[in-house]
Chain A
Amino acid sequence: MNELNEVEILIVEDNQDDLDMTLRALSKANLANHIHTARDGAEALDFIFCQGTCAGRKFDNPPKLVLLDLKLPKVDGMEVLQKMKSDPRTKTIPVVILTSSKEQKDVIDSYHLGVNSYIVKPVNFEGFAVAVKELGMYWLLLNQPPKL
């Protein structure tokens, strides 16, 4: 259970291919040490709100970054984002939407809900790898989160 409290990146992704490529890109950049994956929105909410299978986790050790897909089974990404950003305990956790959707509506809705960044998954391999690597670097190393 301690591992859960040391998680730095939460990846919410239902697509195994994308998940593998993301993990690969992160590990290539040496950022894959403390990663937790959620395969649908419900799992993501369990982890974030320290409930269900993640009941032992504590709020005072938040992940440094949540990579959130929008199209998810059970609870979709937009709802997860909305719940996170409307709860004071989880509001400050940086959330990056990583999705295939280029729809303006999705982009605008996400920003309205307070997303920290919105990234469309590049279709070509190089682009995807570079994007994941750079956002991981930025949020984990460069970004200064607020002290709780």
Chain B
Amino acid sequence: MLLRDTPIRRKLMTVNLLTSSAVLLLTCMAFITYEIITLRKGMMQGYTTRAEIIAANSSAALAFQNEADATDVLSALKTDRRIIMACIYDDKGKVFARYPANALADAFPALPGKSGYRAGHLAVFSSVIEGERKLGTVYLQSNLSSLTERYHAYGWLAAAIIIGSISVAYLLSRALQKQISLPILALAEVANAVSKQRNYSVRAKKFGNDELGSLTDSFNQMLEQVQKQNLVLSESEARVRAIINSAISAVVVIDSAGDIVDWNERAEQMFGRPRQEAIGQELAEIIIPPRYRDAHARGMKHFLATGEGPVLNRIIELSALRRNGDEFPAELSISPMKTADGMTFCGFITDITERKQAEEQLKASFKEIGDLKAALDEHAIVAITNQQGKITYVNDKFCAISKYSREELLGQDHRLINSGFHSKEFIHDLWLTITHGKVWKGEIKNKAKDGSFYWVDTTIVPFLSAAGKPLQYVAIRADITERKQVEVAAARLAAIVQYSDDAIIGKDLDGIVTSWNAGAEKIFGYPAQEMVGQPILRLIPPDRQHEETNILDRVRRGESVQHLDTMRVRKDGSLVDVSITSSAIKDATGKIIGASKVARDITERKRVEAEARESEERYRTLFNTLIEGFCTIEMVYDAEGRPVDYRFLEVNPAFETQTGLQGAQGKLMRELAPGHEAHWFEIYGRIASTGEPAHFENEAKALGRYFDVHAYRVGTAESRRVAILFNDITKRKQIELEISKLNAELEKRVIERTTQLESANKELEAFSYSVSHDLRAPLRAINGFAGIVLEDFSEQLPAAGKRYLERISQGGKRMGELIDDLLAFSRLSRQSVNRLTVDPNKLVRGILGEELKSLQEGRAIEWKIGVMPTCPGDPALLKQVWINLLSNAIKYSRGREPAIVEVGCLCDGEAKAYFVRDNGAGFDMQYANKLFGVFQRLHRTDEFEGTGVGLAIVQRIVHRHGGRVWAEGKVNQGAAFYFTMEGENKI
């Protein structure tokens, strides 16, 4: 076994032992060599010395040739058994003496010899010197037994030392090598376990912190990571495996050679091959039908060469092969995967047999449904409506019956064809039924596009979603219009018979009554049970009995009797005027089996006829004598139902003069006046459709006239007739236009005048200012100088002169007063009016207590002051009003004992009239209008002083407040002045 293959433990020990043995051996050898060299030298030296001693001792013997002596000397060598032989040579080199004595001379080497070790012995030569003369030579030959002994001793010693040392070294190394070998062995063991068992969970034990310790750590860490990765890897693999196995598709993985490398459970089932069997097989061989194998091989090759392929990453449909040789349709998708070994392909294969079958079935069902639908469309009126009630489908029959095109219907709801016949409840019930997912059946009356009605027997089937909610409604209808019409007619007939006021009587050909309605009972007084089975002759007056015979004869011949006005007898015996119509009753075969007789009580009719004649006459008279135009028209509509014209059905004589149109009756308006405005047609169209009458004025330019029109519908909307009563108001309109033109002019003129007036006002202001200033200056001069003359020169003046001067003064004074009042009056028109709330009670009290206090001095006045409501107005101006009125009352009641002055307010709701009444001089009412004029007086100044401006001021102030002022009075019986503040909101 080579050292490198030995276990580390033995390796360590071997190395140790070899090393220590080698060292020991070398040491021993060195030592022994040294000892041997030293020994031989020592031996040599010892024997040399002995030889020299012998030489010395034998020199005499030699010199004297005494052999005995010499032999004696040599015999001393006996003590040393190691000396084999010895001799002494004489100077001639002849052995002189010998030892042992019996030794052969030949045994001794010839001279000269040299000392040294010879084979198996030691030869020593030593010269015997006497003086300068060599006497001979001593020779000693010793065996090497001492040396050999020593050699053996050394050998044993060395062996013992070596053996002992190695033993110790072995034990030591055996003990110490564990420090190194143990961790390594442990690591090796772990590594072994890992590699053999792939168990990454084991960990190496750590023995210390040396290099081996860190090596262990690293190893353990490595193991841990490997374990983790392993775990992840195995999990992911397990997952992938699980996915692959649970995949609905068969998963087949092939390598680039086309051999199967993986094959999941589904593939096992699908192709009928277990995994073990499939793996390693060539894919083409086991699942591709033979006829496709070439294509498959080409595809693989192409892909491997170019990296492109038509089937990669796409889903293709193909045929696949089962183990038992069956082919089945499959869906395949292949994705290439690059792996370490090259390219693999993963194929997902789905068995689509069932799907294909289902598709086929579906196609078949669709076809069947299509056929059924075609059959249904052929037979019935079909419409489909969505949840919102919008039509999503109609078949041809639907279009045909409704007369709408498909485009007009789609997207609309059924209101389009709603006839309005059914009640809201009916429609509501229908919707309630179908929206609850139930089938609704019933008969519906609809309206076609042209306005005609049709009846359909309808079944509406809601198509439900999976959740049971209706998705759409399919309505299947059958046209039952005819049946309905028959039904309606029959019902109507029955109703007519039942409720008719006419007597409707059935009788057989023998004149026996077979049916008797309520009308008959009413007219003739017999209840049905009294007449059915009785002869009809009971009703006929004796003198007319022949009529019945005639009637029956005619009926038998198949003829009918129409409106025979005659008389019949009631149950009570009275006669009744009747109109009789009789016709044959036939059975199903057409055989006449009886007669129907309709008898109408025409007493009323006769009366009504008379009345109608009268009414008609009245109408005609009115129609013909009416000054207003009158006509009835019939509207004409275009295709869209818009009114575009009308026809005159009837026009009265005044029509021509009112419109200027001649011979209008029967003609269309557009014929008569092509330019007639569209709004006329619109208005009459509206009246005709809505029935709402209208009264309006409008212009007909085509006729060059304006009309005032009353129009109303005649009959129902269907009649399309409108009656029109109208007046030509062209003249009035012209006048109105004139008036409005004049008004506009007037407006303009007013503005002009206002401007003029404003400037005049300004001039007036300037004028009154200058009057106030300039007019008074000369007046002052007149007064002043008249006064000065009177004051300074009165003594020189005659009495008359003085009087005249006084008259001048008085005149001047009065003129001053006039000017002042006039100024005050004119100022009023310039002064602005402030509107505040004024309390007249307070105002009057204040005035009487202050301003007019002096006026009342020496007067007995009885004041009757009522409580007055407040009013809005300018306090200063209103005060002036009250001052003027009150002072007038005081002034003009002078001389009355007592003077009575009443102050108050007449209230009538919102209207208030304040008044001041006195029992004074009064006035004549015929001059009442003059009272309020400026400078207008009804009394002379010498009766009652004053300027005649006070009331003018009152009037102006009241007018400026928007109020009114008036007076009542009688001469000597007092006067009353009223004013209102009516225009309280104006100014």
Would you give the 0/1 interface string for A94-108, flagging 1 where the beta carbon is closer than 8 Å to chain B?
000001111100000
- The answer to whether B773 touches A17, judged by C-beta atoms less than 8 angstroms apart, is no
Residues A129 and B772 in contact, CB atoms below 8 Å apart: no
A125 and B783 CA atoms in complex are apart in Å by 5
The one of B772, B784, B787, B820 that contacts A17, using a Cβ cutoff of 8 Å: B784
- List, in ascending order, chain A residues with CB within 8 A of B773's CB: 70-71, 99-101
In the complex, residue of chain A having the shortest beta-carbon distance to the beta carbon of B823: A102
Q: Are the CB atoms of B777 and A102 closer together than 8 Å?
A: no
* The stretch of B547-555, B713-721, B808-816 that contacts the partner chain: B808-816
B515 → chain A, closest Cβ, in Å? 111
Checking B780, B809, B815 against A100 with a beta-carbon cut-off of 8 angstroms, the contacting residue is B780
Q: Are B785 and A123 in contact (CB under 8 A)?
A: no
Which B residues touch A99, using CB under 8 A? 773
B769 neighbours in A (Cβ, 8 Å)? 101, 103
- The CA-CA distance from A124 to B809 in the complex, in Å, is 8
Residues of B near A122 (CB, < 8 A) are 780
Q: Does A128 contact B (CB under 8 A)?
A: yes
Residue of B nearest to A102 (CB): B772
A99 to chain B, nearest CB (A): 7
Cβ-based interface call for B9 (8 A): no
Scan residues 787-819 of chain B and give those whose CB is less than 8 A from a CB of chain A.
Answer: 787-788, 809, 812-813, 815-816, 819
User: Is A21's CB within 8 Å of the partner chain B?
Assistant: yes
Could you tell me if B772 and A123 are in contact, using CB atoms closer than 8 angstroms? no
B284 at interface, CB cutoff 8 A: no
Q: Name B772's contact: one of A18, A100, A126 (CB within 8 Å).
A: A100
Which residues of the partner chain A approach B820 to less than 8 Å between Cβ atoms?
102
Q: Which residues of B contact A100 (CB under 8 A)?
A: 772-774, 776-777, 780
Complex Cα distance, B772 from A101, in Å, reads 6
In the assembled complex, the CB of A29 is this many whole angstroms from the nearest CB of chain B, namely 14
Residues of A within 8 A of B777 (CB): 15, 17-18, 100
Closest A residue to B815 using CB positions: A123
Closest Cβ of chain B to A87, distance in Å, is 27
Q: Would you list which residues of chain B between 823 and 859 have a CB under 8 Å from chain A? A: 823
Interface of B is mostly: helix
* Bound Cα distance from A43 to B80, whole angstroms: 199
B944 to chain A, nearest CB (A): 21
Q: Nearest-CB distance from A32 to chain B (Å)?
A: 15
A129 touches B787 (CB 8 A): yes
Cβ distance B387 to chain A, nearest Cβ, rounded Å? 87
Question: Is B779 on the interface with A (CB-CB < 8 A)?
Answer: yes
Inter-chain contact B788/A123, CB cutoff 8 Å:
no
The reply on A57 being an interface residue by CB < 8 A is no
Contact B780 A18 (CB under 8 A): yes
Give the chain A neighbours of B786 by CB distance below 8 A: 125
Shortest Cβ gap from B772 to chain A (Å): 6
Task: Indicate if the CB atoms of B823 and A125 lie closer than 8 Å.
Answer: no
Q: Is the CB of B823 within 8 A of A17?
A: no
Q: Which of A101, A123, A129 contacts B779 (CB 8 A)?
A: A123
Shortest Cβ distance from A78 into chain B, in angstroms?
13
Instruction: Tell me if B781 counts as interface (CB < 8 A to partner A).
Output: yes
User: Which residues of chain B are near A101, meaning CB under 8 Å?
Assistant: 769, 772-773
Q: Please, how many residues of chain A have a CB less than 8 angstroms from a CB on the other chain?
A: 20
Residues of the A chain whose Cβ atoms lie less than 8 Å from the Cβ of B813: 123-124
- Which chain A residues border B783 with CB–CB below 8 Å? 123-125, 128
Task: List chain B residues, Cβ under 8 A from A125.
Answer: 780, 783-784, 786-788, 809
- Bound CA span A50–B783, Å: 36
A104-148 contact mask (Cβ, 8 Å, vs B): 1 or 0 = 000000000000000001111110110000000000000000000
| A39 adjacent to chain B (CB < 8 Å) | no
Min CB–CB distance A109 → chain B (angstroms): 13
Given contacts A100-B772, A100-B773, A123-B813, contact A21 B823 (CB under 8 A): no
Could you say which residues of chain A place their CB within 8 Å of the CB of B819?
Answer: 123
Tell me if A24 counts as interface (CB < 8 A to partner B). Answer: yes
Contact residues in B for A18 (Cβ distance below 8 Å): 777, 780-781
Tell me the complex Cα distance, A121–B819, Å: 14
Which residues from A are CB-within-8-Å of B788?
Answer: 21, 24, 125
Name the distance in Å between B611's Cβ and chain A's nearest Cβ. 87
> Contact between B772 and A103 (Cβ–Cβ < 8 Å)?
yes
Min CB distance, A20 to chain B, in Å?
8
Give residues 10-36 of A contacting B (CB, 8 Å).
Answer: 15, 17-18, 21, 24
Interface mask (A53-81 → B, CB under 8 Å = 1, otherwise 0): 00000000000000000110000000000
Q: Are A123 and B781 in contact (CB under 8 A)?
A: no
Bound complex: CA of A124 vs CA of B790, how far in Å? Answer: 13
Bound CA–CA A24/B820 (angstroms):
26
> What's the nearest-Cβ distance from chain B to residue A82, in Å?
19
- In the complex, chain B residues whose CB is within 8 Å of the CB of A24: 788
- CB pair B772 A21 closer than 8 Å: no
Question: How far in angstroms is the closest Cβ of chain B from A18?
Answer: 6
Nearest residue in A to B831 (C-beta to C-beta)?
A104
Q: Chain B residue with minimal CB distance to A123?
A: B816
Proximity string of chain B (755-787) to chain A, C-beta cutoff 8 Å, 1 when within and 0 when not: 000000000000001001110111111011111
In the bound complex, CA of A126 to CA of B816 (Å):
14
- Complex CA gap A104/B35 in Å reads 173
Q: How far is the CB of A108 from chain B (nearest CB, A)?
A: 14
Q: With both chains docked as a complex, state the minimum distance between the C-beta of A2 and any C-beta of chain B, in angstroms.
A: 32
Chain B residues closer than 8 Å to A121, beta-carbon distance:
776, 780
CA distance A122 to B779 in the complex (A): 10
Contacts of A129 in B (CB 8 A): 787
Do A123 and B809 touch across chains, with their CB atoms under 8 A apart?
no
Report the minimal beta-carbon distance from B787 to chain A, rounded to whole angstroms. Answer: 3
- Chain B residues within an 8 Å CB radius of A70: 773
Per-residue contact bits, chain B 270-290, to A (CB 8 Å; 1 contact, 0 not): 000000000000000000000
Cα distance A1–B182 when bound, in Å? 155
A72 to chain B: closest CB distance in Å?
11
Chain B positions within 8 Å of A123 at CB level: 776, 779-780, 783, 812-813, 815-816, 819
**B interface vs A, CB < 8 Å?**
769, 772-774, 776-781, 783-788, 809, 812-813, 815-816, 819-820, 823
Nearest 5 Cβ contacts at the A-B interface = A125-B787, A123-B816, A17-B781, A100-B776, A21-B784
Ordered by A's residue number, 23 sampled pairs between the chains whose C-beta atoms are within 8 Å are A17-B784, A18-B777, A21-B784, A21-B785, A99-B773, A101-B769, A101-B773, A102-B772, A102-B823, A103-B772, A121-B776, A123-B779, A123-B780, A123-B783, A123-B813, A123-B815, A123-B816, A123-B819, A124-B787, A124-B816, A125-B783, A125-B786, A128-B780
Give me the interface of A with B, judged by CB distance under 8 Å: 15, 17-18, 21, 24, 70-71, 99-103, 121-126, 128-129
